[in-house]
Amino acid sequence: MVILYSAFSLSLVGCGGGGDFEDSFSFTEEDAEEISALLDRIEDEQADSIAPDQEGGSGLNPDVVLDVSQAHRYAKLRTSVGSVGEDTFRVTNVFLNVREGASVHSKQVEQLKEGDLIRLLDFPNSRWAHVELVDGRKGYVSTAYIAQVVTEEDLASVKKKYEGLYEVNFNFLNVRSEQSSQSQKLGELIGHQLIRPIAIEGKWAKVNLDGKEGFVSSDYLRPFLPSFIVRQEYFSVPVLHYRGDDSEVADALVKHIAFLKSNGRKIVTMSDFYQTLEQQEERDIRLSGESVILVVSEVTAETMRDIADALRASGVSATFFIRTNQIGTDGISPQSLKTLSANGNDVQSAGHKGEDLRALTNSEIALDFAQSRQILEDVTGRDVLSVMYPRGGVNDRVADQAIETGYLFGLTLTPSIGSEGFSRSQFLKMPSNLVTATTTEGTLRMLVGL
């Protein structure tokens, strides 16, 4: 444990000052005991697991365990529709059986899990889809548990491909020679069969049956359209980044938030953003174009309390990025982080030691990411899915380690102005705009695209 948490030295420093959160934001002997118990519990739960160092080092400290199941937990959210190809469908059920034929009695050849991607070959009927798996094998799956992945820009054109396609919404449907139930029967369409009528005239639809034209009752035809997962690919959402080591930032926040609200902007957290992404996997929903993500870093015990009061008075929440080796040393107690979280704020990672990660080996980067995430999740009891790179330092190698240690978002210090934003492929290199107590309304107006 000495190597893992050597920077986790304790200093019983009170926060000082008053306010509604004085007790919650004060560092006490009980907090010191809680931190000690937390570290002991983490040590007891961890096994000897060493990840190989890709650069030839000895690997991770054995006290830090990388849960490999976390490495790709957010892969589906980062995936761009353009990278998966046309006619790509996603499994929407917890599991989905792939069968040799379009029947529940056909032999099962594979079982897919929720989120898996498949390519549509065709629809033999409205109940079954003929698909190709990622390994090239083919089979049939129920259409009830798959959805086509499309961008909001392509949705209209994709839907157009299904225009005029109907399913037989009955066990069978007689095909007549004339528009009359008493006319000669030419044959029948089976239930759930897909057809494109030549024309629909009131109660009757003209269809082609084995090269002959006939008529069926239109009452038993229903337009066919698969389910869709409409993906928002680009997000014109500014990220306003406040440094909490500025003693005047709390007062500035009150003014800035009032200005943003008066101009129709909605303040959201990184977790709010994540929830929207999750909902987009199930239904057509957008992140409002008026949204602004508010984040705070480099807080001290005193400024944390002042900023929390300012946010509460303004009726909004923010995402606090905490460097975990500062818990205790600056009087930031576990209880203060729990209070932040309980009041609707995000508590996310700013790494552990605060070093520029680009200068570290892969295993050292993974160690820093993993221990920071584990400490914060144990303290708050909530998922940590965002990291702010110390000093804004990130490259592809650092971003890859963020993925491997279970992060969805990574924030940089690269600014974005107005309608500039980021795509799904940039979730690990998201821009943020540094805002200070001296930032004017004119600058804010430019940053958020007003």
pLDDT of 173 reads 95
pLDDT of 70 reads 62
Quick check: 49 pLDDT over 70? no
Domain(s) labelled CATH 2.30.30.40 in the chain stretch across 82-153, 166-223
Q: Report how far residue 421's alpha carbon sits from residue 341's, in angstroms, rounded to the nearest whole number.
A: 27
Which contiguous run of DSSP H or E holds residue 411?
strand 409-411
pLDDT of 7 reads 36
- Domain 82-153, CATH: 2.30.30.40
Q: Report how far residue 204's alpha carbon sits from residue 198's, in angstroms, rounded to the nearest whole number.
A: 11
- Domain 29-72+233-447, CATH: 3.20.20.370
Quick check: 331 pLDDT over 90? no
Q: What's the mean per-residue pLDDT of the chain? A: 84
pLDDT of 271 reads 95
Quick check: 61 pLDDT over 50? no
Burial zone of 432 (CB within 10 Å; 0-12 exposed, 13-18 middle, 19+ buried): buried
Q: Please work out, in degrees rounded to the nearest 5, the angle formed at the alpha carbon of residue 304 by the alpha carbons of 274 and 278.
A: 5
Higher confidence at residue 71 or residue 260?
260
pLDDT of 32 reads 59
CATH topology classification for 166-223: SH3 type barrels. (2.30.30)
Quote the strand ranges of 133-238, DSSP E: 138-142, 146-151, 166-168, 172-176, 185-190, 194-195, 199-201, 204-209, 212-217, 221-223, 228-231, 234-235
Domain(s) labelled CATH 3.20.20.370 in the chain stretch across 29-72+233-447
pLDDT of 52 reads 40
pLDDT of 150 reads 85
SS in 3 state form for 225-262?
CCCEEEECCEECCCEEEEECCCCCHHHHHHHHHHHHHH
Q: What is the pLDDT of residues 87-138, one digit of tens each?
A: 899 898 999 999 999 999 999 999 999 888 899 999 999 999 999 999 999 9
Return the closest-CA partner of residue 352 out of 380, 383, 331, 329. 329
Q: Report how far residue 286's alpha carbon sits from residue 131's, in angstroms, rounded to the nearest whole number.
A: 29
Q: Report how far residue 426's alpha carbon sits from residue 411's, in angstroms, rounded to the nearest whole number.
A: 10
Cβ proximity of 270 and 319 under 8 Å? yes
pTM of the model: 0.69
Collect all residues with Cβ–Cβ distance below 8 Å to 271 and sequence separation of at least 6.
319, 346, 385
Structure tokens at 255: 């003014």
Which contiguous run of DSSP H or E holds residue 6?
none
Helix (H, G, I), strand (E, B) or coil at 419: coil
